[in-house]
Amino acid sequence: MENFPKGKFLATVKIGTKGQIVIPKEVRDMFSLNPGDSLVLMADEGQGIALQPFSYVESFWKAVNHVKDGNQK
């Protein structure tokens, strides 16, 4: 897509017969996603669907637990 701001991407993807989608190469490159990487799918009926690399969610979860553990002392 021409004239799209750097770091932004918009595309349409189709759901295959097995419920799979293909993440466009530009997005895989943008987020350094490789075959075998894990993603977390989050869904909310009102807000839609989001995908995050597992490493992002893992670091978020560790931070939440760190704060939780610190408040118990």
pTM comes to 0.68
How far is CA 4 from each of CA 28, 59, 61, rounded to the nearest angstrom? 17, 30, 33
So what's the pLDDT on residue 57? 79
Instruction: List pLDDT tens digits, range 2-35.
Output: 677 888 999 999 999 999 999 999 999 999 999 9
Backbone φ and ψ for 18, nearest 5 degrees, come out as -100, 15
pLDDT higher than threshold 80 for residue 45: yes
pLDDT at 1 over 60: no
How far apart, in whole angstroms, are the C-alpha atoms of residue 60 and residue 39? 14
Tens of pLDDT, residue by residue over 51-66, are 988 888 778 778 888 7
